[in-house]
Amino acid sequence: MANRKNPFRAQTDFKLELSHEQRTILEVLGKGNMTQGMKVAIDQAGHFYNCGLDPDMNLNFVGLVTTLPNQEMIDQKRACQGA
């Protein structure tokens, strides 16, 4: 439950029972830091939700396509950075 005593507090405390596998996933996502892993998981969940992934969808039927930046995109980024 979120902190009801002070809704303006920047920190929210969670108490979760996680399996060994779930803790391992958070540690991997956070590069050894479970708190950072939780933040990454929330960011990724928000991204996929905004892309139309519904929490009730069967993930066995959801595909993922990744794209790598092409050379033109890399050159544009370097030009913007003044490299």
The count of structural domains within the chain is 1
User: CB–CB of 37/30 below 8 Å?
Assistant: yes
Cβ count near 37 (within 10 Å): 20
Q: Flag whether 36 is in a domain.
A: yes
- In 3D space, the residue among 21, 59, 49, 60 whose CA is nearest the CA of residue 37 turns out to be 21
Q: Rounded to two decimals, what is the model's pTM? A: 0.64
Q: How confident is the model at residue 9 (pLDDT cuts 50, 70, 90)?
A: confident
Give φ, ψ of 41 to 5 degrees. Answer: -60, -40
Q: Flag whether 46 is in a domain.
A: yes
C-alpha dist (Å) from residue 64 to 6, 59, 83: 40, 10, 33
Q: Flag whether 75 is in a domain.
A: yes
Full residue range of the structural domain in which residue 25 is found = 20-81
- Is pLDDT of 20 > 90? yes
C-alpha dist (Å) from residue 67 to 40, 57, 64, 70, 72: 20, 23, 10, 9, 14
What are the pLDDT digits (tens) for 26-40? 999 999 999 999 999
